[in-house]
Amino acid sequence: MKKIFTKVVVPSMLAVSTLGIGAVVATMPASAAATAKAPVTLSGTIAKAQAAKSTFWFKVGTKSYRVIYSSTTKFTKGTATSLVKGTAVKVTGKYVGKSTSVLKATSISA
């Protein structure tokens, strides 16, 4: 058994790792890349707003999110001036980088 392992398995493992196949498989999680930038829609209440920085924070249950909006953000209801503390909002956007609490808004309804 030991001889078979050293004669067959070890050379096969070396051949696979030399070709880089093992590294490619290890760096490609099943569907993480496909879902990382998928749009999300969240509804909550604004806790803090900074109009000068085109940013506001809102809560969904106990979790807080920071939203960044710009001139390309579509307002389906309300305007940027509607984004004040206590306002109910619905935000559609994508997470920024690896964050799960910072959204770049594509659409806001306030």
pLDDT tens-digit series, residues 47-95: 999 999 999 999 999 999 999 999 999 999 999 999 999 999 999 999 9
Q: Which domains does the chain have, with CATH numbers?
A: 2-30 (no CATH), 35-109 (2.40.50.140)
Where do the H-state alpha helices sit in 1-110?
2-4, 10-19, 21-26, 32-36
pLDDT tens-digit series, residues 40-51: 999 999 999 999
Task: Please give the Cα distance from 96 to 105 (Å, whole number).
Answer: 10
pLDDT score recorded for residue 29: 45
SS3 58: strand
pLDDT score recorded for residue 26: 39
Q: Are 54 and 69 in contact (CB under 8 A)?
A: yes
Which pLDDT band holds residue 34 (cuts at 50, 70, 90)? very low
CA-derived radius of gyration, the chain: 23
20, 25, 36, 70 from 32: Cα distances, Å: 21, 13, 6, 27
Tokens (6 digits) for 86: 């206590």
Is the pTM here over 0.85, yes or no? no
